[in-house]
Amino acid sequence: MGEKALQGVSAAPGITVGAAVVLDRPGAARVALGADPEAEAIRARDALHRVATDLEDIASALRREGRGEEADIIETGVLMAMDPQLIARVETLVVDAGLGPAEALSEAAEETALELSRLPDAMLAERADDVRSVGRRAAAYVEGRARTATDGVLIATTLGPADVAELAPTAKGIVLAAGGVTAHAAIVARSLGLPMVVGAGPELLDIQDGEEVVVDGDRGLVVRRPDPERVDLARGDAERRRLARNTAVARRDQPAETKDGHRVRVLANASTAAELQEATKQGAEGVGLLRTELLFLEASEWPSQAQQLSSLRPVLSRLAGRTATVRLFDFGADKTPPFLRGTSARGIDLLLESPRALTTQLAAIVEAGAGTDLRILIPMVTSTTQLAAVREALDGVLDGRPRPQLGAMIETPEAALGAGAIAQTADFLSIGTNDLTQLVLGLDREQSRTAPVMDLRVLGLITATIDAAHAARILVDVCGEAASDLKAMPVLVGLGVDELSVAAARVGQARQQVRELNFVAAQQEAEKLLHQTGHASRERV
Ligand code: PEP
Ligand code: MG
């Protein structure tokens, strides 16, 4: 039999080949026909026991390495796996409700996680993901697979962000039967440089564990029984990406400084611990954009402080002493959770409509960001009034703690044109080229991620923003995709941006590109472009 290609949609670029690691199968939800529910319940209990033993081993190993704090955290997982209430619930779900053992484990863990996440005690609420992880590990055992062995192509119906964060760092690629390109899993995959295809259809789950497949994330294909030429092509692509990453990691200590000695800070866009870890390995000096809304796209109400703390802490606790730029919720448009459906507002306007949600979020950020060089970023700013309202709310939650810097995203033409006034009230500016390009040129959001930023109308607004920031003696950063675009980045540096914030997987490449630039030449090139935009008489400040 020859190749069989399943057409899906490209969610993250790159081509890779590997053994399939099938994470879920349809039809496993109920106790198999003829199976003894009591025996299935015992299998589920045994699986929890095995998870407890595994976690104990991991904790002991950590302790031997002197990593006591991490060991303590892992040990709470041991207690969860042995929790009599969890075990009883699993048994009830299998014996009385007729669920399969894997389904019962996931369901019971989810119920417990939800209960924990609603607790006012932030420390306990943070444990919600841990109990989910315990459930997933145990479910993997009853299905006869070791969940941690993911050095291959992950195949699943859908994957949550926590799954991706846990599994992606060791995976070669991801294919989902369902899922969309804007799903958070896809954003994390792109950020980690992992090829990903979504929407491959239910046939995807016919793939057997261990079967060799090629994932073509450029064309949205997954290929079973791939031809040798296709395998070679995939190996070549994967090898190129691997070498580029190794080079980036090896050069992480070299400064991001142009040949003629101009420093540019390279930060990362990271919302999960997995992304931050990758960015740090590649030399990121901190986080320039943490998109807080991404983990709450399915939320049914404004997230509580405890829920926010549990999503922020895994990232911010690893940023002690480093720049941590946390953006307020940018809900609306393509990022509208169920509870906000029907709204036409977006970004800070939407958040200001719910003052309690704003103060809750500010309090969570200030608490989770203690010990970092904390910066709070406001999305979709259009006026200084919005900044003043956020500043007032921020003052109300500080409770004696140092006041973080407050920055404005400049990502609408209105904001760029009013950047002079905004810069007078903000502590820094951050240019969101994704939205800015789309709004100026009326383009589709996906297309606006590359070259159109070089359009002279867009460049004119970027220049006006940079000049406004420098006139107010504040720094200006670019955190849209243009910051790592090979053509746009030298122009942005030439125009004078102080910081670039790029996807985790691109940190090394961006730093290397800065090292290969000559700042004076980049300035001259940028000036030449500016001549065509009407900004020819730009004054340097
Ligand atoms: C942008 O618009 O450039 C940006 C960084 O924000 P987001 O991509 O989250 O809309
Ligand atoms: Mg934006």
Number of CB atoms found within 10 A of residue 447's CB: 12
> Could you tell me if residue 327 is inside a domain?
yes
> Could you tell me if residue 303 is inside a domain?
yes
The residue whose CA has the least distance to atom 3 of ligand 1 is 432
**How many CA atoms lie within 13 Å of 159's alpha carbon, on the beta-carbon side?**
29
In angstroms, what CA-CA distances link 39 with 44, 46, 89? 9, 10, 15
| Residue to mutate (ligand 1; options 325, 441, 443, 479; most atoms within 8 A of CB) | 479
Look at the alpha carbons of 208, 211, 215, 221 in this order and tell me if their dihedral is positive or negative. negative
Domain of 94?
24-146
For residue 224, the domain's CATH number is: 3.50.30.10
Instruction: Tell me if 49 sits within 8 A of 68, measured CB to CB.
Output: no
The residue whose CA has the least distance to atom 6 of ligand 1 is 432
| Residue to mutate (ligand 1; options 184, 275, 350, 435; most atoms within 8 A of CB) | 435
Q: Do 261 and 230 share a domain, yes or no?
A: no
Q: Do 269 and 399 share a domain, yes or no?
A: yes
Q: What pLDDT sits at residue 141?
A: 85
Strand order in the sheet with 9-12: 4-7, 221-224, 212-216, 15-22, 153-156, 173-176, 196-198, 9-12
Q: Do 99 and 63 share a domain, yes or no?
A: yes
Could you tell me whether strands 153-156 and 15-22 are parallel, antiparallel, or unpaired per DSSP bridges? parallel
Burial class (CB in 10 A: 0-12, 13-18, 19+), 414: middle
Only one residue has tokens 């796996």, namely 81
Q: Do 204 and 186 share a domain, yes or no?
A: yes
End position of a domain, from candidates 190, 223, 246: 246
Q: Do 382 and 524 share a domain, yes or no?
A: yes
Q: What pLDDT sits at residue 541?
A: 46
**Cβ of 501 below 6 Å from ligand 1:** no
Q: Do 135 and 186 share a domain, yes or no?
A: no
**Cβ of 44 below 6 Å from ligand 1:** no
Query: Distance, CA 436 to ligand 1 centroid (Å)?
Result: 9
Q: What pLDDT sits at residue 28?
A: 45
For residue 102, the domain's CATH number is: 1.10.274.10
Q: Do 418 and 463 share a domain, yes or no?
A: yes
Query: Distance, CA 320 to ligand 1 centroid (Å)?
Result: 25
Q: What pLDDT sits at residue 537?
A: 53
Condensed to tens digits (0 to 9), the pLDDT of residues 528-541 reads 988 877 665 565 54
Query: Distance, CA 475 to ligand 1 centroid (Å)?
Result: 18
Q: Do 184 and 237 share a domain, yes or no?
A: yes
**Cβ of 330 below 6 Å from ligand 1:** yes
Query: Distance, CA 432 to ligand 2 centroid (Å)?
Result: 5
> Could you tell me if residue 170 is inside a domain?
yes
Report d(CA 105, CA 325) in Å as an integer. Answer: 37
**Cβ of 173 below 6 Å from ligand 1:** no
Q: What is the atom index within ligand 1 of the atom nearest the CA of 434?
A: 3
End position of a domain, from candidates 190, 220, 246: 246
Report d(CA 109, CA 90) in Å as an integer. Answer: 9
Q: Do 391 and 489 share a domain, yes or no?
A: yes
**Cβ of 434 below 6 Å from ligand 1:** yes
> Could you tell me if residue 314 is inside a domain?
yes
| Residue to mutate (ligand 1; options 291, 462, 465; most atoms within 8 A of CB) | 291
419 DSSP β-pair partners: none
**Cβ of 411 below 6 Å from ligand 1:** yes
Q: What pLDDT sits at residue 115?
A: 87
DSSP state of 473: T
Q: What is the atom index within ligand 1 of the atom nearest the CA of 289?
A: 5
Q: What pLDDT sits at residue 27?
A: 43
> Could you tell me if residue 539 is inside a domain?
no
Instruction: Tell me if 260 sits within 8 A of 523, measured CB to CB.
Output: no
Q: Do 394 and 383 share a domain, yes or no?
A: yes
> Could you tell me if residue 385 is inside a domain?
yes
Q: What is the atom index within ligand 1 of the atom nearest the CA of 431?
A: 3
Q: Would you give per-residue pLDDT tens digits along the chain (541 residues)?
A: 799 999 998 888 899 999 998 876 544 455 555 678 899 999 999 999 998 998 888 788 777 866 666 677 778 888 999 999 999 999 999 999 888 898 899 889 988 988 887 777 666 666 776 788 788 888 888 877 655 556 899 998 877 655 666 677 778 999 998 876 656 677 778 878 889 998 899 999 999 988 999 999 988 999 999 999 999 999 999 999 889 888 888 999 999 999 999 999 999 999 888 789 889 999 999 999 999 998 788 788 999 998 899 889 889 998 999 999 999 999 998 788 889 999 999 999 999 999 999 999 999 999 999 999 999 999 999 999 999 999 999 999 999 999 999 999 999 999 999 999 999 999 999 999 989 988 888 876 544 444 577 888 999 999 999 999 999 999 999 999 899 888 999 999 999 999 999 999 899 999 999 999 999 999 999 999 888 776 655 655 4
Q: What pLDDT sits at residue 408?
A: 98
Query: Distance, CA 431 to ligand 2 centroid (Å)?
Result: 9
Coil, strand or helix at 410: strand
**Cβ of 485 below 6 Å from ligand 1:** no
DSSP string, 180-191: -TTSHHHHHHHH
**Cβ of 332 below 6 Å from ligand 1:** no
The residue whose CA has the least distance to atom 9 of ligand 1 is 291
The residue whose CA has the least distance to atom 1 of ligand 1 is 432
Query: Distance, CA 444 to ligand 1 centroid (Å)?
Result: 13
> Could you tell me if residue 125 is inside a domain?
yes
Backbone angles phi, psi at 480, to 5 degrees: -80, 175
Instruction: Tell me if 502 sits within 8 A of 279, measured CB to CB.
Output: no
Q: Between 519-531 and 456-471, two packed helices, what is the crossing angle to 10 degrees?
A: 120
Query: Distance, CA 35 to ligand 1 centroid (Å)?
Result: 51
**Cβ of 480 below 6 Å from ligand 1:** yes
Q: Do 152 and 191 share a domain, yes or no?
A: yes
For residue 353, the domain's CATH number is: 3.20.20.60
End position of a domain, from candidates 99, 119, 146: 146
Of 364, 172, 164, the C-alpha closest to 272 is: 164
Q: What pLDDT sits at residue 213?
A: 96
**Cβ of 433 below 6 Å from ligand 1:** yes
Q: Do 366 and 462 share a domain, yes or no?
A: yes
Burial class (CB in 10 A: 0-12, 13-18, 19+), 518: middle
**Cβ of 293 below 6 Å from ligand 1:** no
**Tally of domains in the chain:** 3
Please identify every residue annotated as catalytic.
184, 479
Report d(CA 245, CA 237) in Å as an integer. Answer: 12
> Could you tell me if residue 252 is inside a domain?
no
Let me know how long the chain is: 541
Instruction: Tell me if 206 sits within 8 A of 11, measured CB to CB.
Output: no
Report d(CA 279, CA 283) in Å as an integer. Answer: 6
Q: What pLDDT sits at residue 157?
A: 80
The residue whose CA has the least distance to atom 8 of ligand 1 is 434
